[in-house]
Every structure is written in structure tokens, then in C-alpha cells.
A and B are shown apart, each in its own frame.
Chain A
Amino acid sequence: MLSCKQASQLLSQSLDRRLSWRERMGLRLHLVMCDVCQRFGKQIVMMRTAVRLMVSAKEQDERICLPEAAKGRIAKVIGTGPLN
């Protein structure tokens, strides 16, 4: 029987790799009996969704611009760079 510590690690890893059959069975068995780990699993999935939302919101936020000072600096650097 998995401990909550082991189950939480497997839940996290399940977002990053395919678990083995044995791991999946162990985890399923644990989750049937453990509401807290179930909740943990849902929350880390929500965090992934939220991070993606946050990133796409920022990407589309046209109020965020390359600062003028940086633009000037970069223009200078690329101006003297080799052209193809």
C-alpha cells in the first residue's frame, strides 16, 4: 500500500511521464481510499491549467511592450551586427 507521500510523488510524476502499470494500479487503489491525495492531484492539474492561462494572457497583453530604452539599445546592437 502506498503512503500519501509516495502517492503525491506519483501524482506529480504522472504529469511528466507515463507511469508503469504497477504504479498506476497502486495509485488508483490509494486514491479510492484517500480524499486528500485526490484533492492534491486535482490541484496540481489546476495549477498547470492556471500557469498556461497566465502565460497566454501575458502574451496577448498589448500593454506590455519592450521598453524604449531596450529597443534603442537593441537597435544599436543589431545595426552593427553582420547582415546576411
Chain B
Amino acid sequence: MPNPTPHDWLNEHGDYLYRFALARLRNPDQAEDVVQETLLAAIQSQSYAGQSAPRTWLVGILKHKIVDLIRRQVREQPMEGLGESLPDDPGMDEFFEEDGGHWSDKPLAWDMPDSALEQKQFLAALQACMDRLPAKLASLFMLREVHEEDNEKICKELEITATNAWVMLYRARMGLRKCLELNWLNR
């Protein structure tokens, strides 16, 4: 069997790579770009020796390209944009009483639905809420929740401190949870 050409990779795996990227990035243009970068990197790399399925190998490259893109995003939007209180105080004061730090905006009860249809609607609500988060928070949150790697490695790759990551992830979770309360619970 002749060796696959880059065009074979594009034809056979392009759609999957695009779906993989689109599921992790917020916009289609970015997903198209990382697929292109992945194929270019694959061409330049000598590392494919047929040891793993081409798709697995390509996805491995794609993951790096996605992290590179998120790192650029994190760099372009400096921390100052998130408020001066970093890194020790994550803010979110609007949710807590000034003295004592008890909830002033108490989380209301909601659950993830069991039925397939409702679950689909829930995921759509979650997606809408993620779209409303600042891009940087959403990207980091996504990377953290689906990445199979530990936080330390993610921080290293993104060139941020662990404390900054905790603060950003806390803000993302607080924001998303509240948004789901407003848009899912009160649907």
C-alpha cells in the first residue's frame, strides 16, 4: 500500500480533526486554522513512522496546536483585564456577604437531567453560558475540564502560575454556575 499523502490525511481525517478542534475552541475560524497548522506540522515532521494510527498521531499534533492558540489568547489579554485583585483574592464579591463571607447569592438547586432530550437542552444552555464567559476564562476552563493532563502541566504549557489558573477557573465556574441557574433553572 502506498504511503498516505498529506491530501489523504486531509480527506480522511480533516472532518474529524475539525470536529475535535471545534469542540474545544469557540469559533470555527480558529478550528480551521489549527487543522491547517496541524497538517503543515505533520508534513514537516518526520515523526510519523506508522507506529500509531495516523489519526491518533494527527490528534496528538492538533492538541498541541490548540494549546498554542490558547496560550496566545491568554498572553494577548493581560491579567489586568480581570481586575487588580489577582492573584490572592479571586473577587466574586457580589456572591458573598461583606462581613463573614456567607453566600448572599445562594446557589439554587439544579441537577443534570436524565432524559436524553433534556440533557441535550442542558448542554445547549451550558454552551450558551460558556460563550458568554470572557474568551480567556472559557478557553482555560475548557482545556482544564477536558484535558487529560494535570493542572501543573497545563499551567506550564500556558505559561501562567498555578495560582492564576485557580483564580481563573474559580471565576469561570462561579460565572457558569450562575448563568446556568438563570438560563436553565428558570427556562
Determine how close the nearest CB of chain B comes to the CB of A68; give it in whole angstroms. Answer: 11
CA distance in complex: A8, B146 (Å): 21
CB atoms of A50 and B122 under 8 A apart? yes
- Contact-residue bracket for chain A: 35 or more
Tally the A-B contacts, defined by beta carbons under 8 Å: 150
A36 vs B104: C-alpha distance when bound (angstroms): 11
Q: A59-B20, A78-B7 are in contact. Are A83 and B43 (CB under 8 A)?
A: yes
Interface size on B, residues (CB 8 A): 59
CB-nearest residue of chain A relative to B3?
Answer: A84
How far, in Å, is A55 (CB) from chain B's closest CB? 4
Give B residues with C-beta under 8 Å from A.
Answer: 6-7, 10, 14-20, 22-24, 28, 32, 35-36, 39-40, 43-46, 90, 92, 95-96, 100-103, 106-107, 109-112, 119, 122-123, 126-127, 130, 141-142, 144-146, 151, 162, 165-166, 169-170, 173-174, 176-177, 180
User: Which A residues are within 8 Å of any B CB, using their own CB?
Assistant: 3-6, 8-9, 12-13, 15-17, 36-37, 39-40, 43-44, 46-62, 64-67, 70-71, 73-75, 77-79, 81-84
